[in-house]
């Protein structure tokens, strides 16, 4: 099975799960279970086959490491202390004020890419995310890489983004025979993505793995600038 076929199959499998009950493992409900079980169903490599031991706090290795700017539908994202602060600014008589805002957090999380938009935002399928942790949901992450930017909505509204934390991206790969080399002869592998031998740990990540933390979306109260208060 080619990488392209496997990406398409993982995307389609995730699509079918949206709106349904979140998957669980013997460790209970967490984001890991969804990606792990879908990959196993497809006969693909899981984090248990990668070169990173699967523990409660590990940055799981889900396949072939790729750069964030090359992600496509069907790829897998692994988040570490990822926080997106979103502030909506509006213009009132030539003065800008923060009208509202929200914060998205994914402290230790895994998700499947469904769409990569031109503005840099990414649509993902995931579970164990507030406000519906027990449901498989489709969500939009405005920006993956750390940094700040301002996006113009129109002449009277703009969105300011501030992102901290890290995201690693992986392309799903066929499950290798036990003990087989994962290095692809004659094929270049991105820096940090090459591996000679797979490390194998027990199914479902081993006894040390525990359910991961819950991703959150926190809405901040609407904010009215001092000038707006004076004008009221």
Percent of the chain with pLDDT over 70: 75
- Confidence at residue 201, expressed as pLDDT on a 0 to 100 scale: 26
What pLDDT does residue 141 have? 97
10-24, 153-167, 188-202, 207-221, range with the lowest pLDDT: 188-202
pLDDT at 203: 28
| Confidence at 198, pLDDT banded by 50, 70, 90 | very low
Going from the C-alpha of 77 to that of each of 18, 160, 195, 219, 226, the distances in angstroms are 17, 23, 19, 24, 41
Residue-range domain boundaries for the chain: 3-231
Query: For 58-112, what is each residue's pLDDT tens digit?
Result: 999 999 999 999 999 999 999 999 999 999 999 999 999 999 999 999 999 999 9
Per-residue pLDDT, averaged over 179-183, amounts to 49
Q: Rounded CA gap, 98 and 225, in Å? A: 7
**Nearest alpha carbon to residue 72 among 2, 13, 11:** 11
For residues 15-27, one letter each, b for 16 or more C-beta atoms within 10 angstroms of the residue's C-beta and e for the rest, the string is eebeeeebbbbeb
């Amino acid at each position: 099975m080619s990488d392209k076929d496997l990406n398409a199959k993982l995307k389609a499998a995730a699509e079918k799960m949206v709106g349904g009950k979140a998957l669980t493992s013997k460790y209970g409900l967490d984001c890991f279970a969804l990606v792990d079980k879908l990959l196993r169903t497809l006969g693909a490599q899981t984090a248990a086959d990668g070169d990173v031991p699967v523990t409660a706090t590990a940055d799981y290795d889900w396949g072939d490491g790729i750069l964030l700017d090359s992600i496509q539908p069907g790829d897998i994202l692994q988040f570490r202390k990822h926080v997106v602060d979103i502030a909506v600014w509006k213009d009132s008589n030539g003065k800008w004020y923060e009208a509202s805002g929200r914060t998205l957090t994914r402290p230790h999380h895994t998700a499947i890419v469904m769409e990569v938009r031109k503005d840099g935002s990414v649509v993902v399928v995931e579970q164990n995310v507030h406000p519906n942790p027990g449901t498989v949901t489709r969500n939009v992450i405005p920006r993956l890489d750390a940094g700040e930017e301002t996006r113009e909505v129109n002449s009277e509204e703009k969105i300011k983004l501030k992102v901290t934390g890290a995201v690693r991206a992986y392309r799903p790969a066929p499950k290798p025979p036990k003990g087989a080399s994962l290095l692809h002869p004659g094929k270049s592998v991105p820096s940090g993505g090459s591996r000679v031998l797979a490390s194998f740990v027990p199914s479902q990540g081993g006894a040390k793995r525990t359910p991961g933390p819950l991703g959150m979306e926190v809405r901040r109260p609407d904010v009215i600038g001092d000038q707006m208060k004076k004008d009221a």
